[in-house]
Amino acid sequence: MGNTSLYSKAYLGYNNRTQDFSDEFRSGFEIGANFFNKKLWLIGRADIVKSLKNGSLNAQNSQGSIFANNIEYTSLGGEIAYYFTKKWGASLNYTGAINGRIIYAAPSISFGVFLDIK
């Protein structure tokens, strides 16, 4: 692993919601490693959202809005990013909730093309 680059990050946050929605505590972390002469990144991440249940709105509305109150979840995800050139690449991400309350249960799968402008 002599030429392997690694990184990690973590965050803690407080989401102060208005208009009678409950505030939220948010936390998460991410770790990544680079392989094959800086061509391939493998990334793992986790996110947690916890409602403080201090709002006065009903927990959910009849439309199943993403702006529902008291949403809580823990999600895990992974991403693969590959550089085709020194600046251009593509990524594939899969993230799913391992538990939750008042959320959509289906996993998220995304694909993208990126330009590295560092």
For 77, the 3-state DSSP assignment is strand
Q: What is the pLDDT of residues 17-38, one digit of tens each?
A: 888 888 999 999 999 999 988 8
Tokens of 14: 């407080």
Nearest CA-CA partner of 14 in 57, 68, 64, 50:
50
Q: What is the pLDDT of residues 37-46, one digit of tens each?
A: 889 999 999 9
Q: What per-residue confidence (pLDDT) applies to 62? A: 46
Eight-state DSSP code of residue 72: E
Q: Could you give the C-alpha distances from 3 to 30, 39, 51, 72, in angstroms and in order?
A: 20, 11, 42, 39
Residue tagged 């809005």 (tokens): 65
Closest alpha carbon to 82 in 49, 54, 109, 43:
43
Q: Which residue has the tokens 């939220």?
A: 24
Matching residue, tokens 């986790």: 46
- What pLDDT score does 87 carry? 95
pTM of the model as a whole:
0.80
Joined tokens for residue 55: 């709002």
Give per-residue pLDDT as tens, 82-110: 999 999 999 999 999 999 887 777 899 99
Q: How far apart are the first and last CA of the chain?
A: 24
List the domain boundaries for the chain.
Answer: 5-115
pLDDT value of residue 61: 52
